[in-house]
Amino acid sequence: MLESNVAELRRQLARTVHASFAGDAPAPTERRSRASDDGLFAPDSVTRRVHADVAMFIGGVRALLLQTMHPLAMAGVAEHSDYRHDALGRLARTGAYVGTTTYGSRDEAVAAVAMVKRVHRRVTGVAPDGRPYSANDPHLLTWVHHAEVDSFLAAYQRYGAEPLTAADADGYVDEMADLCELFEAEPAARSVAELRAYFVDIESEVRATKQARDIARWIMVPPLPWRARLAYGVIFPAALGLLPAAVRRDLWLPLAPGIDPLVVQPAARTFMRSFAWVMGGLEENSTSDDVDGLPEVPAA
């Protein structure tokens, strides 16, 4: 009796926490339970292992912060996004996209990418520095891709359930490059070494603009429901601690010396273990009878 009550409480808590961050989008644990065997990534791929971990929450926030550092990519977000008024909606749509491309069939992944590219056609304009931009620019698509891959990998390596070997880390970067190819972007890194070299090569292009600092401050304190604020109070500092110090300085997001290793990392590891246990309640409640494939990715 007590065991069943605890299990039900766990499921209710998991649904409440997940809905606060991602609405109706399936959680990583749920996506794993309904994964296609004929997907872009194989069932035993490193990508599926990494993306099923709750460390993705930290990686996602880190990716958002890092992506702001390219002035043209940032201009597209600032001028075409309604993130200030629909923060959770955008997060849910992003979660649905990642879930579909990671765990859906190859046809579903290709359709999701095509949908994103259609949305991107409307995202064009002129940045504050006078340069034109387009969200479908292969150069910017590769920047966004590498920022996500680097962030998800960094978050998993520090806070994931199981450590990755060097070969696993290279495998993750290589697997994700296949997804970048579907966008017809510039060639993506195929190893950790190539990923590191990419960020060195693009260093002269990236800097924090006023738009970037504005959205970084918003990401620091987004309008989340009260139930999600405690969790975010751990997730954001953990994401911030994963950013290069130069990026934190440029975004005006300081982190006091010693705070990350002495306070943030221990707190985040403890929290993520608890978070993983809670979110596991969704996986236990998922069966093949509950679902019929993955949900369609919303258009915007």
Residue 91: which of 11, 12, 19 has the closest Cα? 19
Q: Does the pTM of the predicted model rise above 0.75? A: yes
The average pLDDT across 249-258 equals 91
Is the pLDDT assigned to residue 223 strictly greater than 90? no
204 alpha-carbon distance from chain centroid: 25
Rounded-to-integer distance, Cα 125 and Cα 139, Å: 16
Q: Are 58 and 238 in contact (CB under 8 A)?
A: yes
List CB contacts of 266: < 8 A, sequence separation 6 or more: none
Rounded-to-integer distance, Cα 266 and Cα 271, Å: 9
Is the pLDDT assigned to residue 32 strictly greater than 70? no
Using alpha carbons, list the distances in angstroms from residue 14 to 8, 10, 26, 27, 119. 10, 6, 12, 9, 32
The average pLDDT across 195-207 equals 97
Q: Are 293 and 34 in contact (CB under 8 A)?
A: yes
Q: What is the mean pLDDT of the chain?
A: 83
For 229-298, give the DSSP string.
HHHHHHHHHHHHHHS-HHHHHHTT----TTHIIIIIHHHHHHHHHHHHHHHHHHHHT--TTT-SSPPPPP
Domain residue limits, the chain? 2-284
Is the pLDDT assigned to residue 288 strictly greater than 60? no
Quick: pLDDT tens for 73-117. 999 999 987 766 665 566 667 777 888 899 888 999 999 999 999
Rounded-to-integer distance, Cα 278 and Cα 272, Å: 10
The average pLDDT across 40-67 equals 92
Quick: pLDDT tens for 125-183. 999 999 999 999 999 999 999 999 999 999 999 999 888 999 999 999 999 999 999 99
> For residues 51, 57, 61 and 67, what is the CA-based torsion angle, rounded to 10 degrees?
10
**What pLDDT band is residue 300 in, cutting at 50, 70 and 90?**
very low
Specify the range with the lowest mean pLDDT, choosing from 57-61, 140-144, 148-152, 190-194. 57-61
Q: What is the pLDDT of residue 27?
A: 54
